[in-house]
């Protein structure tokens, strides 16, 4: 199949990846109500079509946190994404750099920060969780600073991991020991292309950034056990002071869904927030990001740079998010599917598709620059 959309890459990823990896990327928590809302609510945002406007010169470029970007899009942090293709985060970072957009590396990436940063000229953004071992956090921030990472994404909506039924059904979670390993091995054998490209030639197979604290344990069961034991449920607003002491650049809080939390973030002096429900992977039943974004934009005003993720499946969706109040968006599943379905070329193609689709959406709503996109291009609003 020749991919023509992000949904096509989802189909390719489903075909090419072992089940446990595809379901990990694709799934949400519990009944996946919020996962569905993210897509449906964004699709339901109607735009105001305008005609007879000079749209001969459309400019997608913008600036975020001192960086000039080709378009207001970043590849957001996705855990384990590097297993979707050989040294996958390196491939994705190269595609992002070629497209002129940021790549954000997850703390729980397959490829370590040093490997990814060494493969590109533009340093990645770095994502961090609140971890019980504060010394380890300090070390990660020092590594990110030394690598030249310009932005720290501090994820705050995961004091405890969400329950994802698909991971249990696929054998990724809840099947400790030899039984779980054999089940995943069997799934890999039914996908020989992945087994050859990633399973054989994509080594080492461990979570690069957390490998030092796993002390030689490299299994997925070891990783999930470490997550359960080391994410800190005692996280509070005062912990931002700890992060700020050890990170001098811009901080983006990821996981904001409530206007009061956005106001608190602004009062604490962070540079921006990411309106996010973790892709529907944490608390099921919460609002979609498209629903939450306008009220947060009103609460934040000009005090915060707002970004958003969740449900973005096209360049049209990017424009919708900007019209709802975001300054930029992060892709999650979209680039992970593309990586699994087509490697670096797939990620590059998805970014090309987004740019082309944004140009059409902007042209047919009568705007030619990113700073012209606001609520006025939404149907029913003047």
Q: What is the DSSP string of 249-307?
A: S-EEEEEE-SHHHHHHHHHTT-SEEEE--GGGTSSTTSPPHHHHHHHHHHHHTTSSEEE
Q: What is the pLDDT of residues 53-63, one digit of tens each?
A: 999 999 999 99
Q: Is the pLDDT of residue 325 over 80?
A: yes
Q: Is 312 annotated as ligand-binding? A: yes
Q: Is 228 annotated as ligand-binding? A: no
Q: Alpha-carbon dihedral of residues 58, 64, 70, 73, nearest 10 degrees?
A: -90
> In this predicted structure, what is the pLDDT of residue 176?
60
Using pLDDT thresholds of 50, 70 and 90, give the confidence band for residue 113. Answer: very high
- Cα separation, 341 vs 9, in Å, equals 6
Place of tokens 């809080």: 253
Q: Are 136 and 213 in contact (CB under 8 A)?
A: yes
Q: Is 184 annotated as ligand-binding? A: no
> In this predicted structure, what is the pLDDT of residue 234?
86
Q: Which helix (DSSP H) or strand (DSSP E) does residue 6 occupy? A: helix 6-16
**Which of 157, 216, 221 shows the shortest CA–CA distance to 20?**
221
> In this predicted structure, what is the pLDDT of residue 198?
87
- Cα separation, 90 vs 204, in Å, equals 14
Q: What is the pLDDT of residues 120-175, one digit of tens each?
A: 999 999 999 988 889 999 999 999 999 999 999 999 998 888 889 998 888 877 66
Q: Is 127 annotated as ligand-binding? A: yes
Q: Is 94 annotated as ligand-binding? A: no
**Which of 215, 196, 228, 42 shows the shortest CA–CA distance to 131?**
228
**Which percentage of the chain shows pLDDT scores above 70?**
95
Residue of 191, 206, 246, 278 with catalytic role: 278
**Domains of the chain listed by start with CATH number:** 6-377 (3.20.20.70)
> In this predicted structure, what is the pLDDT of residue 206?
75
Q: Is 164 annotated as ligand-binding? A: yes
> In this predicted structure, what is the pLDDT of residue 187?
82
- Cα separation, 97 vs 319, in Å, equals 21
Query: Is 246 tagged catalytic?
Result: no
Q: Is the pLDDT of residue 179 over 80?
A: no
Q: Is the pLDDT of residue 237 over 70?
A: yes
Q: Is 106 annotated as ligand-binding? A: yes
- Cα separation, 317 vs 323, in Å, equals 10
Q: Is the pLDDT of residue 178 over 60?
A: no
Q: Is 313 annotated as ligand-binding? A: yes
Region 72-97: mean pLDDT is 96
């Amino acid at each position: 199949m020749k991919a023509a959309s992000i949904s096509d890459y989802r189909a390719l990823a489903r075909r090419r990846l072992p089940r446990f990896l595809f379901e990990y990327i694709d799934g949400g928590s519990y009944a996946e109500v919020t996962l569905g809302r993210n897509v449906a609510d964004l699709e339901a945002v109607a735009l105001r079509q305008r005609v007879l406007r000079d749209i001969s010169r459309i400019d997608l470029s913008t600036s975020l946190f001192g960086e000039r970007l080709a378009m207001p899009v970043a590849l957001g942090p996705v855990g384990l994404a590097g297993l979707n293709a050989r040294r996958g985060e390196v491939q994705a970072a190269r595609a992002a750099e070629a497209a002129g957009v940021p790549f954000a590396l997850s703390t729980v990436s397959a490829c370590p920060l040093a490997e990814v940063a060494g493969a590109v000229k533009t340093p990645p953004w770095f994502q961090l969780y609140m971890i019980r071992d504060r010394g380890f956090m300090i070390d990660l921030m020092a590594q990110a600073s030394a690598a030249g990472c310009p932005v720290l994404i501090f994820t705050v909506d995961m004091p405890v991991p969400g329950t994802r039924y698909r991971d249990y059904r696929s054998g990724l979670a809840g099947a400790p020991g030899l039984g779980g390993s054999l089940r995943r091995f069997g799934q890999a054998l039914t996908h020989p292309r992945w087994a050859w490209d990633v399973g054989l030639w994509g080594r080492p197979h461990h979570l690069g950034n957390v490998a030092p604290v796993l002390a030689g344990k490299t299994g997925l069961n070891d990783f999930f056990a470490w997550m359960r034991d080391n994410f800190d449920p005692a996280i509070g607003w005062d912990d931002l002071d700890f992060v700020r002491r050890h990170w001098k650049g811009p901080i983006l809080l990821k996981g904001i869904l409530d206007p009061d939390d956005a106001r608190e973030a602004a009062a604490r002096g962070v540079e921006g927030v990411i309106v996010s429900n973790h892709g529907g992977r944490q608390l099921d039943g919460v609002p979609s990001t498209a629903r939450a974004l306008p009220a947060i934009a009103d609460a934040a005003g000009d005090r915060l740079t707002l970004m958003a993720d969740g449900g973005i499946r096209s360049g049209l969706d990017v424009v919708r998010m900007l019209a709802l109040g975001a300054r930029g968006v992060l892709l999650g599943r979209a680039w992970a599917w593309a990586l699994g379905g087509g490697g670096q070329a797939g990620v590059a193609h998805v970014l090309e598709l987004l740019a082309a689709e944004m140009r059409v959406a902007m042209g047919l709503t009568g705007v030619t620059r990113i700073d012209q996109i606001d609520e006025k291009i939404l149907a029913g609003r003047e």
